[in-house]
Amino acid sequence: MAQVASHAAAPARVVLNLPMDPLPAELAAMFGDRFDAVAELWYDDEGTAQVSLARLAADPELGAAAARAIDRGASHAWLAEVVPQIPPPTQCLRFVVAGQMADGMTLAEAQEYWRLEHPRVFRTVTDFVPYIVGYTQMHGRDVLESGAIDWLGAHDFYPMCAEMGLRSVADVVTAYSMPSYLAVIRPDEEYFSKPGEMLSFASGEARTWPATG
């Protein structure tokens, strides 16, 4: 990722979310253990992203470096619009999830409900809310040019991706086992998405270029 960050066509920001090592058994049981990292390439707008990604994809040296470092057949990549809900603190345990919309919903319907209505439902569960110190939605945009991110991984369109921030492993286990979460928030998630089929990744550390803080 440092090579991407220093490229002439670099994104505005590059973030590499590192795995927890070792991954606590509680989190492995809840979210699985399929991925080694989550990389984020941040752009100010879609047009800038398209131009930059095309230039990065055309660089043979970068492509060769990516091929050495990334198992592209077991990786997923897509473009999304960031929709902040709860700004996360600088330091927290983060887990990233990505999934599909519920059957019977259009992309626009699912994303609008998720953006506007789900946060309202979430905030009604007052014993659960304090555990969540960060919440960022990423709404998938299926507009990438062919081959633009093949050097990173398979272009699998995920309309819904989210990053959740919590203070500790214990808080994750407690929060997502609470009767109020299971009775109110989980059914609402199942209304517009397929949480049982999500990709997921837990991280306790991130490296950012340009460096911050």
Statement: 2-209 belongs to CATH 3.30.43.10: no
**How do residues 81-103 score in pLDDT, each as one tens digit?**
999 999 999 899 999 999 999 99
Spell out, as residue ranges, where the chain has pLDDT lower than 50: 213
Q: Are 102 and 148 in contact (CB under 8 A)?
A: no
pLDDT confidence of residue 213? 46
**How do residues 34-67 score in pLDDT, each as one tens digit?**
999 999 999 999 999 999 999 999 999 999 999 9
CA–CA separation, 86 and 38 (whole Å): 20
What six digits make up the tokens of 106? 């259009």
